[in-house]
Amino acid sequence: MSPLVGLPRGAPAGRLHLLPQRAAFDPDSSVLLVADLHLGKAVTYRTLGVPVPEATTDETLRRLDEALAATEARQVVFLGDLLHSRRALAPGTLDAFERWRSAHRDLSLILVRGNHDDRAGDPPASLGIEVVDGPWRVGGWALMHEPVAVAGAYALGGHLHPGVAVQGRALQRLRLPAFWFGPSVGVLPAFGEFTGLSTRPTVPIEQVYAIADGRVVQVPM
């Protein structure tokens, strides 16, 4: 598991592991936090005639299994945009998710609704996912999709698909998924395989942790 990170001054006293699988883990509550899976995004684009990668749902769920194995989390909280659209409810996507769920029937799943969830609708009841609106409190965290400051808690969200641009030794520029942390708001990277990223923060940030070569590393500001 990744080392504990030193969060900004506004974060609660609780601990948080940042994982190279693009997730975060709170060991005090045994909660795995993941944002923006966008399951079914590729099939949505293919139905519109856009050529996109195959098997993105399987790869996303494989990394979710990796994060669960690393943490032994008892609960997963999806910070919005679990499904990409109503077209994501295609049999291939749902069958893959149903198989994954069958292997984790004892795992508690919470979905904090995001903007894409509003369009896609709540996931099928057979998946056993509790659906809530944000902010949803867990300990000192306020969990949500679109990250905004919340009085009396440190906000953790997604939505922005955060990344960072770094320059390599050969002067090439790389764009890497990243965690952003500010004085009152933290943003998790998009977990899904086919999601893109933004390197222009729209919330105040003090710390950036990039994911590169299977590691989480702090990037100097």
| CA R_g for the chain | 17
Residue in 181, 162, 165, 178 with CA at minimum distance from that of residue 211: 178
Can you tell me the mean pLDDT for 155-161? Answer: 95
Residue 7, domain member (yes or no): no
What pLDDT score was predicted for residue 10? 64
d(CA 148, CA 142): 9
| Mean pLDDT across 22-42 | 88
200 in a structural domain = yes
The mean of the pLDDT values for the chain is 84
Residues 153 and 137 sit within 8 Å (Cβ to Cβ): yes
Cβ neighbourhood burial of 29 (10 Å; 0-12, 13-18, 19+): middle
Helix H or strand E encompassing 205: none
Residue 60 belongs to domain with CATH number: 3.60.21
Residue 40 zone, left/alpha/beta (φ > 0; ψ -120 to 50; rest): left
For the cut 80, the answer to whether the pLDDT of residue 1 exceeds it is no
Average pLDDT of the residues in 65-91: 84
Determine the structural domain holding residue 48 and report its residue range: 17-210
Is 74 inside any structural domain?
A: yes
The position carrying tokens 């942390």 is 181
Give the distance, in angstroms, between the CA of residue 159 and the centroid of all CA atoms in the same chain. 9
Q: Is residue 131 in a domain?
A: yes
| Residue 29 placed within a domain | yes
Whole-number Å distance between alpha carbons of 189 and 187: 7
pTM score of the predicted model: 0.88
* pLDDT value of residue 15: 76
> Residue 164: inside a domain, yes or no?
yes
Least confident of 3-12, 54-63, 134-143, 188-197: 3-12
Crossing angle of helices 56-71/91-102, nearest 10°?
20
For the chain, the domain total comes to 1
**For residue 84, is it within any domain?**
yes
% of the chain exceeding 90 in pLDDT: 52
Give the pLDDT mean for 58-81: 94
Residue 8 lies in a domain: no
> In the prediction, which pLDDT does 45 show?
43
Helix or strand holding residue 23 (H, E): strand 23-26
Q: Please give the helix or strand (H or E) that residue 70 lies within, else none.
A: helix 56-71
pLDDT digits (tens, 9 = 90+) for 80-133: 889 855 565 666 778 888 999 999 999 999 999 988 666 767 888 889 999 999
